[in-house]
Amino acid sequence: MPDDAGDDRGGPGPRRAEFGVDLLLDLRGAPGRKALGDALRAAARDGRLHAGAVLPSTRTLASELGLARNTVAAAYEQLVAEGWLISRQGSGTRVADHPALGAGLPARGRDPDGSARLRFDFTPGTPDLSRFPRERWQRAARRALARAPHGALSYPDPRGLPGLREALAEYLARARGVRADAEHIVICSGFTQALHLLAGVLRSRDATRIAVEDHGLPRHRRVIAAAGLDTTAVPVDREGARVDLLAGEDAVLLTPAHQFPLGVALSSRRRLGVLRWARRTGALLIEDDYDGEFRYDRQPVAALQADAPDLVAYAGTASKSLAPGLGLAWLVCPPGLLSDVVRAKEVSDGHTGVFEQLTLEEFLRCGDYDQHVRRARLAYRRRRNDLLAMLTDRSLPAVPRGIGAGLHVLIDLPARSAEAETTVVRAATRHDIALTGLSHYRTPPDPDASVAALVIGYTRPPGHGYRAALDALGGFLTTALAR
């Protein structure tokens, strides 16, 4: 029987071979030497097999693919001859560094939008990722995994692991004044998901409109729109959102502790006002407590939820306190919303990954979370002070706002037009400086707005390069604002 005849166990279609990592090989057609050669070549060309990857022995692959061993050996030989594979006595067969390897992949080393990274990055939104407590997190992960019973790795309650929810209930009560029990907490993969779940539940209850602050994260408005809800924009002034203007909305999304990105806290008058409005109309308050841990000059502002747990859906996130890549957030649901939110979470993604949950629980319980936040707070306050000192030292006509908390400051520019703001942001890129204009966050967009401001995130430049980044920013603003 010719080797190539192969035996077509499992019928036509892709088959899976164990390569140390799994690789799906498409052996459709006549499975044999040629089909296997084509499939391996295609896997190398489109990047699924990388240079240096070790292929299984001819015996293993033959058995896994249901082919004769000689067929696999002949396919390997052919690819060695073509320069796709290297075969060495004693070290098996590997993928060679062929010039066409990975030719089907998009170019690497660029940002998703295709732009090259700028050297001095003052984009707001992420914490200082070099401060991520890798060692402690790793140790917590190891301890948590060693201690977790097998059952912890099964399908958890869609709300998340009870231990983490209990640890969070304690932490949130202590640090943010939140009134929560573990039963009402739902672990999410980010604030984004928490908002997505809430918006979906509201929509399913015939809600049509959510009020948002007229400056905020564009992604949040997209999440609300994706759920089929309209947004109305509420202006923000020195006392926070003008909640006195709310009328007829089914819910309002607020950042009461530290308005993003304008930086003000919701005044006590407005806090009372919005609670009264919600009680009167039955609307839901969605509290986005994204950076409540980072207040510098006075006591943190307690969560709004503390005053009315039945009216407020409170959400916090590890995206600022630890890292966005973790994908961990917590939603404290009012009782009337809980079962619908849990159902929505279940059909959305089943549950959030248990390894991160186990680790965060351990991280909270052993005190590492508090310690990390305290240290990060000190480091960010230092960075903020250095930034403010730079503005003062250079006597720049740029007035900082929202400096009391968070990971960014707002700098008002003297030329009061959106156009002037865009000009400054564009000019900065030519000096290798990434800046973000306030108009990026404004809703609805208003090209005729008579405001120009920069939202300066001060956590991205690496610690050793922060001084140089501030010098570059100061030098740039000195000339840009003198024009």
Ligand X SMILES: Cc1ncc(COP(=O)(O)O)c(C=O)c1O
Out of 25, 55, 223, 329, name the contact with ligand X by CB under 6 A: 329
Q: Answer for the pair 179, 172: CB distance below 8 angstroms, yes or no.
A: no
Which x/- pattern over 117-136 shows residues binding ligand X (rule: CB under 6 A)? Answer: --------x-----------
Q: CA 355, CA 145: separation in Å to the nearest integer?
A: 8
Q: How many other CB atoms are there within 10 angstroms of residue 294's CB atom?
A: 23
State the virtual CA torsion across 442, 448, 452, 455 in degrees, nearest 10: 20
How many Cα atoms within 13 Å fall on the side-chain side of residue 352? 27
Q: How far is the CB of 188 from ligand X (least distance, A)?
A: 8
CA gap 255, 317 in Å, rounded: 13
Residue span binding ligand X (CB under 6 A) among the ranges 31-39, 112-120, 190-198, 230-238: 190-198
Kindly report the CA angle at 36 between 34 and 38, in degrees rounded to 5? 70
Residue nearer to ligand X on the CB measure, 101 or 322: 322
Shortest distance in whole angstroms from residue 440 CB to ligand X: 12
For ligand X, the closer of residues 93 and 255 by Cβ is 255
Stretch that binds ligand X, among 20-28, 42-50, 77-85, 317-325 (CB under 6 A): 317-325
Window of 90-98, 135-143, 187-195, 470-478 that interacts with ligand X by CB under 6 A:
187-195
Nearest by Cα to 311 from 347, 338, 336: 336
- For the chain, state the CA radius of gyration: 28
Cα dist from 352 to 1, 162, 227, 343, whole Å: 53, 13, 21, 14
Q: Does 317 engage in binding with ligand X (CB under 6 A)?
A: yes
Nearest approach, Cβ of residue 42 and ligand X (Å) = 37
Three-class secondary structure of residue 208 per DSSP: coil
Grouping H, G, I as helix, E, B as strand and the rest as coil, residue 31 is coil
Q: Which of 58, 93, 231, 319 binds ligand X (CB under 6 A)?
A: 319
Residues within window 415-454 making contact with ligand X, judged by CB under 6 A: none
The size of the interface with ligand X (CB under 6 A), counted in residues, is: 13
Could you tell me the smallest distance in angstroms from the CB atom of residue 41 to ligand X? 41
The 3-state DSSP composition of the chain as helix, strand, coil percent (nearest 5) reads 45, 15, 40
Q: Note whether 321 binds ligand X by CB under 6 A.
A: no
Q: How far is the CB of 259 from ligand X (least distance, A)?
A: 9
Segment contacting ligand X by CB under 6 A, of 10-18, 154-162, 184-192, 223-231: 184-192
- State the nearest-atom distance from the C-beta of 319 to ligand X, in Å: 3
How many whole angstroms separate alpha carbon 477 and alpha carbon 325? Answer: 32
Give residue number: closest CB to ligand X: 190
Query: What is the 8-class DSSP label of residue 111?
Result: -
192 binds ligand X, rule: CB under 6 A: yes
Residue 67 binding ligand X, by CB under 6 A: no
Q: Would you state the structure tokens that stand for residue 166, as one six-digit string?
A: 């209990």
- Cβ nearer to ligand X, comparing 93 with 192: 192
For position 305 contacting ligand X by CB under 6 A, the verdict is no
- Kindly tell me which of 84 and 330 has the beta carbon lying closer to ligand X: 330
Looking at the Cβ atoms of 255 and 439, the one nearer to ligand X is 255
> Could you tell me the smallest distance in angstroms from the CB atom of residue 350 to ligand X?
18
Binding window for ligand X (CB under 6 A); candidates: 128-136, 186-194, 238-246, 402-410? 186-194
Task: Select the residue interacting with ligand X from 127, 133, 190, 309 (CB under 6 A).
Answer: 190
By the 8 A CB rule, do 410 and 430 touch? no
Residue 352 makes contact with ligand X by CB under 6 A:
no
Nearer to ligand X, 102 or 327 (CB): 327
**3-state SS track over 233-271:** EECEECCEECHHHCCCCCEEEECCCCCCCCCCCCCHHHH
Closer by beta carbon to ligand X, 194 or else 472: 194
Buried-exposed string 204-216: b where 16+ CB fall within 10 A, e elsewhere: eeebebbbbbbbb
Nearest to ligand X of 125, 461 (CB atom): 125
Contact between 207 and 251 under an 8 Å Cβ cutoff? The reply is yes
Please tell me the distance from the alpha carbon of residue 320 to that of residue 323, in angstroms, as a whole number. 6
Q: Which residue, 126 or 478, has its beta carbon nearer to ligand X? A: 126
AA letter at 435: L
Minimum CB distance to ligand X smaller for 290 or for 369: 290
Q: In terms of CB distance, is 239 or 288 closer to ligand X?
A: 288
CA atoms of 125 and 392, how far apart (whole Å):
24
Residues 239-298 contacting ligand X, CB under 6 A: 255, 260, 288, 290
Q: Residues in the chain, how many?
A: 483
Do 52 and 21 touch, CB atoms closer than 8 A? no
**CB 303 to ligand X: min, Å:** 14
- Interacting residue ranges for ligand X, rule: CB under 6 A: 125, 190-192, 217, 255, 260, 288, 290, 317, 319, 324, 329
